[in-house]
């Protein structure tokens, strides 16, 4: 074999060519390695999948076209018409919309529970349920799910635990090792890490489930495009560094924001007063992630003043970039929730969600301080 390139090649081809029918048969039957048609698989997805599986501590991982594609594939793999999902009541906005607005058309209903209340979860699972869906760290208020306990409860009730691990990333938490049957990640966020790709993934241990997920991904058209996989694999090279640096920054920023004039509360699992601090410490081994929330005195007007006053920190409703970004749950993820529902969840007009980046801490503080009232 001639010397191979060190950098990963990109294979944009949508289809492969064969010497004869016999070769086509061997590749189609999996007797010989190779690819036929890119919706069913291609080299960049395979390479990314191998690396993701290792990161997740799982037997396999399959990249999908987005986080929502991965979540849809997970649900469509398990849940049939007339089926039922039990889901956490704090979820990424589009996930809540999928469960509330799309799945009922297929006869699939969802019951929402407080995932921190294990008795409530047990109670909700008394009716036949296919899937228990939770986020390791919830959007936006960073509640932490006790994954081992939830896995036991789900499996005792005959349901499968599906975990959205996007806020935690596999650096903080590997749900497949804690009993989750399927682990979903939006690679668009911290794992891709540079706000320049859209991808998701599903990981698991059961080899038969792998076949079912792969079939679901290809049949429903949830496949991942080569260029995004190529970019994401490049992002993976620095994932550990980025998560650790951003988590360390987030803890310091949370402490720095606490008690500053104009800041009513700070929500971060790394703070001792966070309701899930002890669980987070045990489950994540001393890092608490890059996501935090803080509430400003003065509601929406105060948020507008702050956002206009911190030009270096973009208001940008995503997360996981190398740079710190802000978002406003009240006008993005929870825009169409009723006022009553928002009050129950703690989504107030003054609440900002911050995805902390890897900037030098002092620079980040300076950038934020100019938008806050002087002490």
Ligand X SMILES: *Cc1c(COP(=O)(O)O)cnc(C)c1O
Q: How far is CA 279 from the centre of its chain?
A: 19
Counting residues that bind ligand X (by CB under 6 A) gives 16
Interface stretch with ligand X, choices 62-70, 233-241, 244-252, 255-263 (CB under 6 A): 62-70
Question: What does the per-residue mask of binding to ligand X show for 89-108, with x meaning CB under 6 A?
Answer: ---x-xx-------------
When asked if residue 321 is in the footprint of ligand X (CB under 6 A), the reply is no
Interface stretch with ligand X, choices 43-51, 66-74, 155-163, 303-311 (CB under 6 A): 66-74
Residues contacting residue 72 through CB under 8 Å, at least 6 positions apart: 98, 220, 222
When asked if residue 186 is in the footprint of ligand X (CB under 6 A), the reply is yes
> From the CB of 187, what's the least distance to ligand X, in Å?
7
Residue nearer to ligand X on the CB measure, 97 or 300: 97
Residue from 305, 317, 232 nearest 262 by CA: 305
> From the CB of 180, what's the least distance to ligand X, in Å?
15
Residue nearer to ligand X on the CB measure, 44 or 95: 95
When asked if residue 67 is in the footprint of ligand X (CB under 6 A), the reply is yes
Residue from 275, 278, 284, 274 nearest 248 by CA: 284
Residue nearer to ligand X on the CB measure, 67 or 350: 67
Catalytic residues: 39, 92, 164, 189
Interface stretch with ligand X, choices 17-25, 64-72, 218-226, 233-241 (CB under 6 A): 64-72
Residue nearer to ligand X on the CB measure, 166 or 249: 166
Residue nearer to ligand X on the CB measure, 56 or 135: 135
Near ligand X by CB under 6 A: residue from 139, 169, 216, 355: 139
SS3 86: strand
Question: What does the per-residue mask of binding to ligand X show for 159-178, with x meaning CB under 6 A?
Answer: -----x-xx-----------
When asked if residue 359 is in the footprint of ligand X (CB under 6 A), the reply is no
Hey, how many other C-beta atoms are within 10 angstroms of the C-beta on 360? 10
Long-range Cβ contacts of 53-58 (<8 Å, 24+ apart) = 53/203, 55/170, 55/171, 55/174, 55/236, 55/239, 56/170, 56/174, 56/175, 56/176, 56/183, 56/203, 57/170, 57/174, 57/176, 57/177, 58/174, 58/176, 58/183, 58/203, 58/204, 58/205
CA 171 to CA 287: how far, in whole Å?
9
CA 42 to CA 364: how far, in whole Å?
40
> Could you give the C-alpha distances from 305 to 291, 332, 346, in angstroms and in order?
22, 18, 21
When asked if residue 204 is in the footprint of ligand X (CB under 6 A), the reply is no
Residues that bind ligand X (CB under 6 A): 66-68, 92, 94-95, 135, 139, 164, 166-167, 186, 188-189, 198, 200
């Amino acid at each position: 074999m001639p010397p191979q390139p060190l950098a990963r090649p990109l294979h944009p081809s949508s289809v492969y060519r064969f010497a004869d029918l016999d070769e086509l048969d061997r590749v189609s039957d999996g007797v010989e390695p190779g690819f036929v048609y890119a919706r069913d698989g291609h080299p960049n997805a395979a390479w990314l999948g191998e690396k993701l599986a290792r990161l997740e501590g799982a037997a396999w991982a399959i990249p999908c076209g987005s986080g929502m594609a991965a979540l849809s594939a997970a649900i469509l793999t398990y849940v049939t018409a007339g089926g039922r999902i039990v889901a956490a009541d704090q979820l990424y906005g589009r996930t809540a919309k999928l469960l509330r607005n799309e799945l009922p058309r297929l006869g699939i209903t969802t019951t929402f529970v407080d995932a921190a209340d294990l008795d409530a979860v047990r109670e909700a699972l008394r009716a036949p349920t296919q899937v228990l869906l939770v986020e390791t760290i919830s959007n936006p208020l960073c509640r932490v799910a006790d994954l081992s306990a939830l896995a036991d409860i789900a499996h005792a009730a005959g349901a499968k635990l599906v975990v959205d691990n996007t806020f935690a990333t596999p650096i903080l938490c590997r749900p497949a090792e804690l009993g989750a049957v399927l682990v979903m990640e939006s690679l668009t966020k911290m794992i891709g890490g540079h706000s320049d790709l859209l991808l998701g993934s599903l990981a698991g241990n059961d080899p038969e489930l792998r076949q079912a997920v792969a079939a679901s991904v290809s049949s429903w058209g949830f496949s991942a495009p080569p260029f995004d996989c190529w970019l994401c694999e490049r992002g993976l090279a620095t994932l550990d560094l980025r998560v650790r640096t951003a988590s360390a920054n987030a803890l310091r920023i949370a402490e720095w924001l606490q008690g500053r004039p104009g800041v009513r509360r700070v929500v971060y699992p790394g703070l001792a007063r966070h309701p899930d601090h002890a669980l987070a410490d045990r489950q994540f081994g001393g890092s608490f992630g890059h996501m935090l929330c803080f509430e400003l005195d003065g509601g929406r007007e105060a948020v507008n003043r702050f956002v206009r006053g911190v030009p270096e920190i973009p208001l940008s409703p995503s997360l996981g970039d190398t740079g710190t970004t802000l978002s406003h749950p009240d006008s993005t993820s929870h825009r169409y929730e009723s006022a009553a529902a928002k009050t129950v969840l703690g989504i107030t007009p003054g609440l900002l969600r911050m995805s902390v980046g890897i900037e030098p801490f002092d620079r980040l503080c300076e950038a934020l301080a100019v938008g806050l009232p002087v002490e």
